Chains A and B, each alone.
Chain A
Amino acid sequence: DAGVIQSPRHEVTEMGQEVTLRCKPISGHDYLFWYRQTMMRGLELLIYFNNNVPIDDSGMPEDRFSAKMPNASFSTLKIQPSEPRDSAVYFCASSLRFDQPQHFGDGTRLSIL
């Protein structure tokens, strides 16, 4: 099993640019989650999907952030325009069902200059 695959692993870009993070969940998993990890705030849930439908986006910090899941094998998290305070590690996770453990990708380390 390939696990959750995230790309890119590292992204460095200038303030104001659009950033797109990508995630491929484990095949057959119905739930997909996006998290942000920072030293100050720890691990925060941004949004999660069930069967490609966004269920809870209450953790999305502001309108600059958007997430989509066009099909069962792909999701994106976009930040436009990006700001230095968006610098963090962004994780994607997936799970088979609501009561099953989540499997995390290795994360995208994002630096906004």
Chain B
Amino acid sequence: GDSVTQMEGPVTLSEEAFLTINCTYTATGYPSLFWYVQYPGEGLQLLLKATKADDKGSNKGFEATYRKETTSFHLEKGSVQVSDSAVYFCALSDKGNKLVFGAGTILRVKS
């Protein structure tokens, strides 16, 4: 079945450091790919998405490119802030609207 694999955390960075969170997927079709973010005590919020190969999703300085050849959708940000500390979930939607989530990666940014 469909699955999403994310790099294990926690990822701890200093403010203004470069961020990469790896995400790879397995799907039978051509899924849409998403990054969601969860701040402490809150639900998940959509961060960005890409619906076809080579699409780049971007929002709030975060970017991810849909790479079909490597089945990847890595999240990047050039300069993280303390306020970016959260849990980040990679997800895919293949059949209908069911989302399949990765395990989540905790990001901690120190000032």
Residues on A facing B (Cβ under 8 Å)? 4, 31, 33, 42-43, 45, 48, 55-56, 91, 93, 95, 97-99, 101-107
- B4 → chain A closest CB, angstroms: 10
| B97 in contact with A91 (CB, 8 Å) | no
Which single residue of chain A is at the shortest CB-CB distance from B51?
A: A99
Residues on B facing A (Cβ under 8 Å)? 32, 34, 41-46, 49, 89, 93, 96-99, 101-104
| A91 in contact with B44 (CB, 8 Å) | yes
| B103 in contact with A93 (CB, 8 Å) | no
| A43 in contact with B97 (CB, 8 Å) | no
| B97 in contact with A104 (CB, 8 Å) | no
| A104 in contact with B89 (CB, 8 Å) | no
A101 — which chain B residues lie within 8 A by C-beta?
34, 46, 49
B103 — which chain A residues lie within 8 A by C-beta?
42
22 contacts between A and B (CB under 8 A): A31-B97, A33-B99, A42-B103, A43-B101, A45-B98, A48-B98, A91-B43, A91-B44, A93-B43, A95-B97, A97-B97, A99-B93, A99-B97, A101-B34, A101-B49, A102-B46, A102-B99, A103-B46, A104-B43, A106-B41, A107-B42, A107-B43
Q: Looking at chain A's contact residues, is the secondary structure mostly helix, strand, loop, or mixed?
A: strand
> 12 more A-B contacts (CB under 8 A) besides A33-B99, A101-B34, A106-B43?
A42-B101, A42-B103, A55-B96, A91-B44, A93-B43, A93-B44, A95-B97, A97-B97, A99-B97, A101-B46, A102-B46, A104-B44
A31 — which chain B residues lie within 8 A by C-beta?
97
| B46 in contact with A106 (CB, 8 Å) | no
**Which of A42, A55, A99, A105 sits near B43, CB closer than 8 Å?**
A105
A106 — which chain B residues lie within 8 A by C-beta?
41-43
A43-B104 contact given A104-B43, A105-B43, CB 8 Å threshold: yes
| B49 in contact with A4 (CB, 8 Å) | no
